[in-house]
Structure formats: structure tokens, C-alpha cells
Structure 1
Amino acid sequence: MINENETTKISDEAPLGEKELLEEFERRKRNLQGWRYWLVATIAIAASLFHLYTAAFGLMAAIYQRSIHWMLMGVLIFLLYPISKKRPGDRIDFWDWIFAGLLVIGCMNIILNWDAISMREGMAIPSDISLGVIMVLLVLEAARRSMGWPLPIVAIVAMLYALFGPYFPGMLAHGGFPLEELAPFQYLRTDGIFGVPLGVSASFIFLFVLFGSILNVSGAGQFFIDLSLALTGRSQGGPAKAAVVASALMGTVSGSSVANAVTTGSFTIPLMKRAGYTSEFSGAVVAAASTGGQVMPPVMGAAAFIMAQFLGISYWEIVVAAAIPATLYFISIIAMVHFRSGKRGIMGISGVELRNVKEVFREGWHLLLPIVALVGFLATGYSAVKAVFWSIICLVVASWLGQEKYRMTPRRILDSLINGAINAVEVAAACACSGLVIGVIGITGVGLAFSSFVMSLSHGILPLALMLTMVGSIILGMGVPTTAQYIITSTLAAPALAQMGVPLMSAHLFCLYFGVLADVTPPVALATYAAAGLSKSNPLKTGFVALSVAVAGFLVPYMFVYNSYLLFQGNLLRIVLGCVTALMGIVGLSAAVQGYYVAPLSLPERLALFIVPFLLIVPNIYTDAVALALLIGVYLLQKHKVGRGVAPSVAVPHASNSVGKEE
């Protein structure tokens, strides 16, 4: 599942707290019954079957594929999401039928009359203008209902900018475009609503959402949690490390921060609190780790598929490039947990409470086959569409190799088809609404003006330009989904970074990473809110703790901008050396943030380790040597102090009655 805002369907055996959290983060979709439910279910099944059919037998022409996709997704939005949370949730208002009908008319006009429309391009007739205005308004309303106001507001501002260009100051001014020209442009070209973002949703994203939905229904979520506990539960700070590993495993198939946090956190947060972690830290670990799912191959967030289209490369190349940075991100959180556990004296779970790794693997090994198949198909040159299609087939077949509880029966398959389509509607709305912004950027040329602005503001100094892009990405990511954030910032800021010599892949991944990290950046941090709800902690405090836990992850994008070997580019020796230096930086920063290395750090030791990551951002043999010397020097000094018994004492939490408290 790759929609950053969707949630996962949970079985009836799931904890009540998890179900309540899912209901909250589903933004109160309607709870339809009777014929209304079956109507929505039929449309959802039709959408899933349509995308599976085109994956098997070939995609339709771009405009037809996108029109049918948006028609199905848009209708589902208006039938599922009420105009206001105050409206009854068990029936569909009459105006929603009107909105859905108008959307069908707008899409069917393209499907039935595309030849005539393409022949008169540039000479819009009255129906083109009126339908264009209606479709723009429907896209804005669909995005508002499914995601809230932030993204529609960005799109509205963009449209106003296109209409009133002459009244803007300086380099932002342009000639302006009348509504009679702008509305048909957004509606009848593959530069606006039906642009690249919606095209990626129609071809790639929906299928990966469906893949995740089927995998989840098959019981993979619980298997990943059990496997993580078996692997790490006995080590120092085992429960928290298990939460990180579980989120990483879930992240391989779910690019949703919220769904990841709710699914893994409902099981791992209580374990962390029993071990002695505070409620805030328990929620923070789950939030920070779950956020990494959007950059964890092989199934990343929706933005990764759009990145492949923007860069004109295969999705597999994105997967390869993102592998090392994503792994480093999760290692950074494990390092934070390890040093925190050492400082607080928190050990692992007793062996009696844990299942054996072999036992867990023997029970659910077949659930890994579809993921291995997906990687194999992508690596051998299959398109992303074909790869995920055959992986879905493999998943259904493999489910019958395990116990009965894992088998994909016809009823479970139907549930998966319904859930997959419903889970895909929000990302489709984000892509369609983002298309409005992309259309304005294209028709006005503001992208070039923005690049010039970044160049001017940073005075051509790359570190300053990177910091400006980071701040802009985080601020934008606080209000809009990661997909929309990436589309906007990569269109505006990535060209400026490229002009300064940053490889395009690095520039685009840089924009993506900091948009993803907005999910743990207060005041708006969806993953943090989900985790805080499960840990019963203050969301704002949990957000700031999550930010400190994920802070080493803020270092990774700067490293791969200056060291392209971290994107798996170059010879193997340099890639290995790049990974080693990155790990050194992560260890130094994590220890400094937590104030613990071998033993609690003194202020000079802490400052020395704070310097380490900044010495390692730009590859240089001399600065690398100094950083290594600092790491080894502080380590030996602390070992010496521990040996002499002069190191500060470590606080040990009380045993079973220390739930949620760190002494």
C-alpha cells in the first residue's frame, strides 16, 4: 500500500485501540449499509479488475487510462466521503449523486469524444470551457473531502496566480491567462488534471496499493511483527528495536506512515512501555520508524513512481538508488534506541516470552515469496506494472502454501479488491489536485522563476540552497501529502539544485526525503498523532521526541547529495567506503543526541561526537580520518573510565511496575 494517508484493514481480532485509531485516520468515511454498500463495493471491484486487466493485457492510451481511473476513483470519493463530518454517515446526500454524475459526464466526454477534442486543440468550444470549470471544481472538492484543505488551498492559489499574473511583483509577474483558456488547458490536456501524477496513479500506484491490500489480508502484518520480535526482542532495548524492524519490514510493502504506525504500534508500543520506556518515547520510535516506509524499497511511497516518470528512468533504478539511504535511516533509529536503552539500563524481553525465529519463519515463510518475486521481476527488466501484476498472482498462489489462516479464499480476494480500490482513492485525489499545480507551473513558466529565486537567495552556495530546499519541503510537507509535496518541490526546487551541479536523482530524492520527514515534524505530523494515540501520550511532546529520534535521518540526504556512492552509483569499493563513513556519522550523531556511548557522555565527549557527522558529509580522506579518530578516541576514553569505575552511573528502571516511566 503506497498511499501516505491510507489506512490498513484490520482483522476482527485486532486490539480495540487500533480500530479506533483507524476510524479516526480514515477521516470518517461513510459507514454505508445495504444496497449503498454493495454499490460502492461493486464500483471498487470494477476499479480493481480494470487495473488488473490493463496490467495483464497492456495499458490503454494515456488519456483513456487516466480518464477511466479518475472517473472510478472520483465517484468513490463522492460516495464515500460526506461534504462535512456533520453529515449522517449511513446515507449518501443527493448533491453527492449530482457531483458523481457530473464527474462521470466530464470523464466520459473525453473517452467518447477524444478524437474531436484533439482535432480542435487550442480552439475551445463553450462545452470545453464549462466542463473544464466543473472538472477543476470537482477535483478541488474531491481532494478537500479526502485529505482536508491544505492541498486544495495550494491548488487554488496556483489557479489564482495563473489568472492574475500581471498583478504579481517582480519575476513572478506574467501575462495572465483568462478562464476561457485556463479551464480547457487543465481539463483537456495531459499537463493538468490528467497529467503525469494521475497517469502514474492510474498505471502503477493503484496496483501496488492492491498488492499491499492483498498482502495485508493474508496476515503479513502479524508475521512481520512476530519475526521482528523474534530477531531483536532479546537484545538491549529489544522491544523498541523490534518496533523499528517491524516498521522496516512493513515499509517494504506499505508506503503509508499512518497505516504502518497503527499496524505495528498497537503491538510494539505496549511492549516498550512495559520495558520501561516513557509513553512519549514509545510513540516517537514507532512514528519515526513508520515514516521510513515511504522510502523503503521495493514498494516505496507513491512519490517514488512519479519520480521515475519525472526522471524518465525505470522504477527499478529508483529502488536501487533508495536502498542504501533507506537502510541507513532505519539503522539511525536503531542506533538511537540502542544508546537510549544503554543510558536507561533497559534490557530485552525474556526468552520465555518470545517465539523462536525458526518457528516464526516456518509458519509464515511463504509470505516473503511475493516480495522476493517483486524484486526479482523488477531486477530482470519487467516493467513495474507487469512486475506487480505477477507478484499479485504469486501472492494468491503462495498463500495456499501456508496455514489456513493465511489462505486467500474467494471472499478474502473480494475483500482485498474492495479495500485496495478504497485505499487508492486518496492518492488519486492528491495526484489529480497536484496536476492542477503542475499545469499552472507549466503554462506560466514560474518554475524557471523559482529556480532563479533559489539561486539568487542562496548566492549559488550549495549548502545554503540545500537548507532552503529542506525547510521548504518540510513546511510544505506539514500541510499536504508526501506525494503532492514531492511533485511541487521537485518541480520548483530540484532544477535549481541541478543547476548547482547536484545529480538529478540526488536532487529529487533530497526533496522526497524531507517531505517524508514532515510526517514526524511538529506541529502537523500524522504518523506522530497515530502513534501518540496508541501510546496515550501528548502528541506535541511525542512529535518533538520523534524528531530527535529521527534527527540522524536528516543527515542522510545531505550525505547522498555529496556522496553519490550512497545511491549505489560507482564501483563497489567506493560504495562500501561511503556506507562505512555514513554509519560512522550516524553512530556519532546518535550517541551525541542520546548522551550515551559506552557509558553516559560528559559534555566534552558529547561535543566531540556532535562534530563527527559534519566532518563526514563531504567525502575527504582527512576529515574522515579526524572523524574516525574522534569516534575511537571517545570510545577508548569511555572504556578506560568504565574499567576504572569512574564513569557516571546508569539509571535502571524499576521492573514490572515501571510502565511508561524512565527513572
Structure 2
Amino acid sequence: MSTIDLHAHPQGKTPSPEEFQEHGVQRQLAGLSLKVLFAAALAFSVYQLIVAAFHPLSSLVIRSLHVGFLLMLCFLLYPAVKRGTHTSIPWYDWLLAAGAFAMGTYHWIFEADLIQRAGDPTTADLVVGTIAVVMVFEAVRRVMGLALPLVCGAFLLYGLFGQYLPGALAHRGYDYGQIIDQLFTGSEGIFGTPTMVSATYIFLFILFGAFLEHAGMINLFNSLALGLVGHAKGGPAKVAVISSGFMGTISGSGVANVLTVGQFTIPLMKRFGYSGVFAGAVEATSSMGGQIMPPVMGAVAFIMAETLNVPYVDIVKAAAIPAILYYLTAFWMVHLEAGRAGLSGLPKDQIPNPWRALKANWHLILPLAALVAMLFHGFTPMFAGLTGLALTAILILGAAVAAGLSKQAFRYVFWVALGLAAATFLQWGIYSILAIIALLVAACFVVQGGRETLRSMKMSLIDGAKQALPVGLACAIVGVIIGVLTLTGAASSFAGFILDVGAKSLFLSLFLTMIVCLVLGMGIPTIPNYIITSSIAAPALLNLGVPLIVSHMFVFYFGIMADLTPPVALAAFAASSIAKESPMKIGFKATQIAIAGFVIPYMAVYDPALMLQGDWTVLAVAYVVFKTVLAIILWGATAVGYLWTPLKVYERIFTGVSALLLVAAVPITDEIGFAMAALFFAWQFVRKRRLAVAA
């Protein structure tokens, strides 16, 4: 039986870094420069692991060193300008990298003095603080472009000169020292809550995903998806949806999902009849859902938990049903498109056996299962992430050692002994885990193939540090916005405007908030988008009766959707580099595919049981989920123009109206919507029978 090769790129090679890079242009280093970069990235990952395991420093020092590492790596890896060849590091970037790391140690060296003179910064504090803020702006410009620094710069200018603005926009005025003190010396600026979350939870989960990717989790996900739905109608596109959904459980980055899973799924869809635009749009839509797919959601979920002061598992519970519905939306849309275009599934002789793949890589599932279990049993995200990471390392190293043993009996004995040893973690703590890992590392130097595994783990640590750069830098620079809003209280003005609108119509307030999220998302990533909008709009929505988690999830959800909507749709640009199609066309098609998902946040606001909020019951949840699924089915038929048979224009209008009626939580609209849906399904059934008889 011939099966699809999951390891080879169907077009013969993977896209080069020049074709698409989500975050800036990276240098292609070699020799000593590359060794220094690798050493710095390894040091960063090791530092983060030590902090997570032993927490030897105060919170502010941990944040400061975290930002210092981020800036150092950024100046080593990203050039100041995109043009030209970047095969070496110029002298000024060596100087910036060294200075950035030295700046990161400032809070560590002068910790006691900074505490004693809190609120009364010295000239040295202001000089170092100014340099730090400028470095953060420059680093973010290199990695993410001008949009985010310009937005944050506007807030900084407002803090410095806002007293000269007219009317309600003006504040009382703050001098330069107060602004820098707010942004640098305390925990309200660039070392605020987002940076704290980046330095603790987020880095561990990024590293966790990097380890699983290097261990072969992507191939396992692709094998499972192919085996489960590859033979169905439109199988290749359904494989993309399911595989991206699986990938979303370990990776909180939608664009990273496109660039990993999409290497396999987009060419596969094109090979079996889908257009390049549709293939790229399916992958972009499916991958962006990874940010709301538990257990490892996007970085925003951790920031949200810290901001709301609720356990991370509460965010996971609120996101679970909407995430499943999001992927159901994508799955339903590709099913309808396949039916409309008459696309069949993959031949059965090209489909791998999913159970065989699971049997061969069962050990990769255990860390994910352990992570979920620990989160739902009340452990902190940091402890759960560290444990999942340690378990992943043990299983990867253990698999390498077991494969190097000569006899099967020895392998069974080894796995039993390793399981018993790992179980001691519950009694002996982190030191037993470190001892087990050290012994396995030593064994890998002896057994055949062990050194390759160690090299793979080293690259996992390096890649994890590099992947943390855009997230960590975004968290640092949005601290400028948080610091200015906290100092001036400017958020209350916009919140008051939303309250005035909401007094007349909650829907208009929600719609206005959605538009703000989508517009901001054209230029800035999800993290600052969420922080800006939630700081301004979420309190106002709370005053309008929307539960706190629901209001924050509403903002988060549409911040994600902004990465799909043109003109600036990062996920579409990533998919276009593989599909070889216009990113604008892919963005518009992705918006069409995801359009049924736009109703989910609105339905959660009108009926919080969809996010397990408020006084929900199992019956209430079942009812709203059924209603949402029905709305998604109708909305999908409206967008594609097909259900069991092609739809005429008036039929699409009919289904669209019935779907809209189901969105609002008003009983009479529900009843009308259900009746219209029943009439439509009956009409489609009759027409399908007539066409079958005529054929």
C-alpha cells in the first residue's frame, strides 16, 4: 500500500525564509556569530527553566532579565534594515546587544536602592530608563514593523503632552521623570503584567510546543487527521482543519501553525482539486483557531487570567466550547465547498493507519494529557507547564535510549523502570526529575542514535527562545500603553462613550468593539490588540451586564479574527507563501470561511452559558450549543450557496435571516428562526429527492 509521505514537502522543498517571515527579516549567520547566537538563546531558555523551577529572584528582577535577554537576542538576530544581505552582525548591534543585557541587570544590581527611592528616580534611573524604552521600541520595530511602535508611541506622546489637548481628552500633565519612572522603575510599564506572564507561563508553553514539534508531533497529527477524515468528501481540506486543530492544542501561534501544518496540507489540497486560494484560506482559518484551542492557548489567555485574577483553567473552560464551534465552522464550510465543487476524498490506499501511527508515537500524547489533567486539578500554569516540559524531555530521551537497546525485553524493563522513577516526582519533587533527565542524557551519549536526540533537544531550546521573541517584545512594549493609561486614567473616556451607545443598544456597543478590534488588528498583533481594547472596552461591557470573562473573550476572539481580515492578514500572508496565490484573495476567502464563526462571540454575550458563565445549567448549555450549531449550518449554507443542492439567491437570503434570528437570545426570535430552519431543511430534502429521481 502506498501512503502519502508526511515528511517530504510535496513541492520538493520547504518555502525559504525570504518567501514569508511572520516577524521581520532574520540574519542568516554562520561561524562565530551563529555560535554566539545559539549560546545566547540556550542561556535564555536555561535561565527561564531555572526561574520556573526554583524562582530564585524577585518578580521585578525576573521581568527585567527576561526583557534583557529578549533585547539581546533581537539585536543579534534581526538587522536594523531589511534591504541587503544579512550574514554578519555589525559592530553597533554587538554593542546594542551587550548594552541591552546590561540594562536587564539594572533592577537586579540596584534592587534595594530602587525600592528605597520608589517614586523619586535619580538621574541615572532616568537615563537607563530612557535607553531601555528606546531599545524596546527599536527591537519591536525590527521584529514587527512600524505599526505597533507608532501606536504605542502615540500613547507615550499623549502621556507627555496630553495636557495641551482640548476638552475631555486632556489630562492634568506629567513631567518627563514621572513618565519614565512609570514605564521603567516599577511594575506598571514595560515590566508590567504582560511581561510577567511572558517571563513565566508563556515561555514555558512555547518551549513545550517546540519540544513536541521537534519530537514529531506534527507528523502524528497529520497521520491521525488523514486516517480519520482523509477518505471523506473533501478529505484533504478536512485533514487541514483537524490537523490544525490538533496543532492548536500545543501551539498558541496561528501563523506558526500555518507555516508548519500548511507545508503538508496546502499542497495536498491543491493536488486533489481545491484552488490555491481556497487551500490557503482553509489553512489560515484553521490555524488561527489555535489561539483559542485549549489546553495551550495563545499568550493572551495567560495575560487574561492574570489580568482578571482568575485561574487559567477558568479561561480554558470559557474558551473550550467556542473553540470547538470555531473548528466545526471551518469543517462545515469545507464540507459544503467540497459538495458544491464535487470534490472527493483521498484514495484509501494513500491513507495511513491512524492507530498504527498512534501506537508508534504514543509517548508524545502523555505530556499533553498530563498538562490537561494538572490544569483541571488546580495546579498553576507554571507548575503544569514545567511538569509537561519535563515529562516531554524524559519521554523523548527515554524513547531514544529504549530504541538503542538491543533486545525487546530490555526495552520493556527500561520503560517500566522509567515510569516508576518518574512517579517519584510526586514525592521527591524537581530534584528527582533533574536526576532522571541527567541519567538519560548520559545514556544518550552511549546508545546508538542518542546524540542525534540530544542535538534535537538543544535545537528545541534554541527555537523556543527565538519563538519567544515576538511575544515577549509585544508584551514589553504594550506596557507603555498600560503605564500611560494607568497614570492618566484615559481609558475612562472611551469607556464612557461605549456606555452611552450601549444605553441605547448593546448590539451597537458590541459591534463598535468588534470594529475597533478588527481595525487595530490590521497593524498590531493579537496581544497588544487585546490589551488595548480590553483596557478600554471590556469594563464598559461589564457595566452593560456582560460577564467579565465573556467581555474579555469577545475582545480576544475578534483580535484573532483580525489576522484573517484584509488588508493586513498575517495568516493569509503566511499561507500565500506556500499556496503561491495572492494574500489578499486568500484573506477575503478566509474571512468568508470564518464568517459563520463571527456569530459565536455575539451568542456568548447574549447567552453566557455558551462560555459556561453566569447561572448556567447543562440544559441551558445544550440549548445554546444546539442553537449555535444550527446558526453555523445556516450561515455556512448562506456563504457557500450550497447545502444538499445549490441555493438560489432568495434561498440564501432566507437562510441568512434565519441564522441572524437565532443569534439573539430573545424567545420569539428563536422560535421564528427554528421554524424557518425547519422549512428550509424540508425544502432542501424535497428538492434533493426530486433531483435524484430525475437523474
TM-score bucket of the superposed structures, by smaller chain:
over 0.9
Give how far 1:23 is off. Answer: 5.9
CA contact (8 A) 1:598 1:635 kept: no
The equivalences for 1:162-181 within 5 A come to 162-181=159-178
Structure 1 distance, partners of 2:56, 2:559, is 30
**Could you tell me how far apart the structure 1 residues matched to 2:648 and 2:145 are?**
47
1:552 and 1:182 map into 2 onto residues whose CA distance is: 44
Show the counterpart of 1:652: none
Partner of 2:389: 392
Amino acid at match of 2:173: G
Match of 1:114 among 111, 121, 125: 111
Contact 1:174 1:444 in 2 (8 A): yes
SS in structure 2 at match of 1:493: helix
Distance 1:595 1:428, change over 3 A: same
The residue identity in structure 2 corresponding to 1:611 is V
Partner of 1:661: none
Q: CA deviation at 1:506?
A: 0.5
Name whichever of 140-149 and 54-63 sits farther off.
54-63
Q: Does 2:491 align with 1:491?
A: no
Match of 1:610 in 2: 656
1:146 corresponding residue in structure 2? 143
Structure 1 equivalent of residue 324 of structure 2: 327
Q: Could you say which residue in structure 2 is the equivalent of 1:416?
A: 460
Q: Does 1:124 align with 2:121?
A: yes
Counterparts of residues 156-555 of structure 1 (less than 5 Å): 156-399=153-396, 400-401=398-399, 409-555=453-599
Contact 2:65/2:101 (8 A) holds in 1:
no
Contact 2:66 2:104 in 1 (8 A): no
**More divergent stretch after superposition (148-157 vs 118-127):** 118-127
Q: Offset of 1:178 from its aligned partner?
A: 1.7
Quote the offset at 1:121 in angstroms.
Answer: 1.5
The answer (yes or no) to whether the contact 1:600–1:647 under 8 Å persists in 2 is no
Q: Contact 2:25–2:143 at 8 Å: present in 1 too?
A: no
The CA distance in 2 between the partners of 1:144 and 1:275, in whole Å, is 41
- The alpha-carbon deviation at position 165 of structure 1 amounts to 1.1
TM-score, normalising length: structure 1: 0.93
Q: 1:584 to 1:13 in 2, by over 3 A?
A: closer
The answer (yes or no) to whether the contact 1:21–1:262 under 8 Å persists in 2 is no
Measure, in 2, the Cα distance between the counterparts of 1:318 and 1:196: 17
Deviation of 1:129 after TM superposition, in Å, equals 1.3
Q: What SS is found at the alignment partner of 2:21?
A: helix
**CA spacing shift, 1:152–1:26, aligned 2, 3 Å:** closer
Deviations 1:31-64 (A, max 9, x none): 2222221222112111111211222223632101
- State the SS of the aligned residue for 1:479: coil
Give the match for residue 6 of structure 1: none
Q: Residue in 2 aligned with 1:593? A: 639
What SS does structure 1 have at the residue aligned with 2:563? helix
Does the C-alpha gap of structure 1 residues 195 and 599 become closer, same or farther in structure 2, counting only changes over 3 Å?
Answer: same
What amino acid maps onto 1:451 in structure 2? A
The worse-fitting range, judged by mean Cα deviation, of 622-631 and 45-54 is: 622-631
CA shift at 1:25, angstroms?
A: 3.3
Distance 1:382 1:21, change over 3 A: farther
Is contact 1:454-1:493 (8 Å) kept? yes
Residues 193-233 of structure 1 show CA distances to partners (whole Å, capped at 9, x for unaligned) of: 10001010001111111001101100111111121111111
The whole-number CA distance in structure 1 between the counterparts of 2:229 and 2:341 is: 18
Q: 1:629 aligns with which of 675, 683, 695?
A: 675
- The match for 2:130 is 133
Q: Deviations over 1:139-158 (max 9, x none)?
A: 10111111111111111111
- Counterpart AA for 1:594: V
Per-residue deviation, 1:646: 8.3
- The CA deviation at 1:460 is 4.4
Matched, 1:559 2:603: yes
2:20–2:577 Cα contact (<8 Å) kept:
no
Q: Does the 8 Å contact 2:223/2:353 carry over to 1?
A: no
Q: Secondary structure at the match of 2:296?
A: coil
Q: Is the 8 A contact 1:597 1:635 kept in 2?
A: no
Task: Mark the runs of 5 or more structure 1 residues left unpaired by the alignment.
Answer: 1-9, 650-663
Distance 1:66 1:541 in 2: 41
Displacement of 1:11: 8.4
Q: Which consecutive residues of structure 2, in runs of 5 or more, have no partner in the other structure?
A: 1-5, 405-448
Greater RCO between the two (CA within 8 Å, min separation 6)?
A: 1
Is contact 2:194-2:479 (8 Å) kept?
Answer: yes
Deviation larger for 114-123 or 623-632: 623-632
Between 502-511 and 394-403, the greater mean CA deviation after superposition: 394-403
Please report how far the alpha carbon of residue 397 of structure 1 lies from its aligned counterpart in structure 2 after TM superposition: 2.4
Deviations 1:74-115 (A, max 9, x none): 111111111112354222112112222332332222111121
1:479 to partner: Cα distance: 0.6
* Counterpart code for 1:342: G
Paired residue secondary structure (2:321):
helix
Decide whether aligned partners of structure 1 residues 225 and 60 sit closer, same or farther in structure 2, where only a CA change above 3 A counts.
same
Instruction: Verify the 8 A CA contact 2:20 2:574 in the aligned structure 1.
Output: no
Cα distance in 1 between the residues matched to 2:54 and 2:96: 32
> How many Å separate the matches in 1 of 2:599 and 2:23?
32
Distance 1:501 1:98, change over 3 A: same
Question: Helix, strand or coil: the match of 1:17?
Answer: coil
- Sort the Cα spacing of 1:346 and 1:59 in 2 relative to 1 into closer, same or farther, 3 A: farther
- The CA distance in 2 between the partners of 1:207 and 1:195, in whole Å, is 18
**TM-score for both structures, normalised by structure 2:** 0.89
Q: One-letter code of the match for 1:583?
A: V
Count residues in correspondence.
640
Q: Indicate the percent of aligned positions where both proteins have the same amino acid.
A: 39
User: Please, which of 684, 688, 694 is the counterpart of residue 638 of structure 1?
Assistant: 684
- SS at structure 1 position matched to 2:14: helix
Indicate the residue corresponding to 2:416 in structure 1. Answer: none
Whole-Å separation in 2 of the counterparts to 1:401 and 1:316 = 31
What is the distance in 1 between the residues matched to 2:693 and 2:513? 42
